[in-house]
Amino acid sequence: MTTTKPHGYWQRNAQLLRDQAKTMTCKELATAHHATPKQIRHQLHLLKTTCKSAKLARYEHLSELCKKQLSVRQIAELEGKTTSAIYQELKLHGLSTINTQLRWTEAAIAELTEQAQTRTAAELAALRQFELKYMYKLLRRFGIKTRPHRTVVPRSPKPKAAPKQRTAAAYTPVLRKPAQPAYALPQPKPQPEIIWPAHVQVQRITTRIPDNAPMCASTSRKPLVLGKNFCNGPRAT
Ordered by start, the domain boundaries in the chain are 9-52, 55-99, 104-142
CA-based nearest residue to 56, from 9, 24, 84, 33: 24
**Residue 59 and residue 26 in contact, taking contact as beta carbons nearer than 8 Å:** no
Distance set, CA 185 to CA 70, 177, 188 (Å): 85, 18, 10
DSSP letter at 215 equals B
Lowest mean per-residue pLDDT among 34-48, 60-74, 89-103: 89-103
CA-based nearest residue to 145, from 119, 168, 166: 119
Residue 20, pLDDT score: 86
Lowest mean per-residue pLDDT among 59-73, 88-102, 206-220: 206-220
Q: Is the pLDDT of residue 218 over 60?
A: no
Kindly indicate the confidence band of residue 4, based on its pLDDT and cuts at 50, 70 and 90: confident
- Distance of alpha carbon 181 from alpha carbon 121, whole angstroms: 60
User: 3-class DSSP state for residue 230?
Assistant: strand
Bridge partners, 197 (sequence order) = none
Residue 29, pLDDT score: 87
- Distance of alpha carbon 220 from alpha carbon 108, whole angstroms: 118
**Residue 99 and residue 70 in contact, taking contact as beta carbons nearer than 8 Å:** no
Residue 192, pLDDT score: 81
Q: Is the pLDDT of residue 140 over 60?
A: yes
Lowest mean per-residue pLDDT among 1-5, 15-19, 212-216: 212-216
Residue 113, pLDDT score: 92
- Across the range 43-57, mean pLDDT stands at 84
User: How crowded is residue 57: how many other Cβ atoms within 10 Å of its Cβ?
Assistant: 16
Angle between helical axes of 106-116 and 121-128 (0-180°, round to 10): 130
- Digit-coded pLDDT (tens) for 180-193: 666 677 788 888 88
pTM for the structure as a whole: 0.37
Mean pLDDT, the chain, rounded, equals 78
**Residue 53 and residue 88 in contact, taking contact as beta carbons nearer than 8 Å:** no
Q: Is the pLDDT of residue 206 over 70?
A: no
Lowest mean per-residue pLDDT among 6-15, 37-46, 136-145, 213-222: 213-222
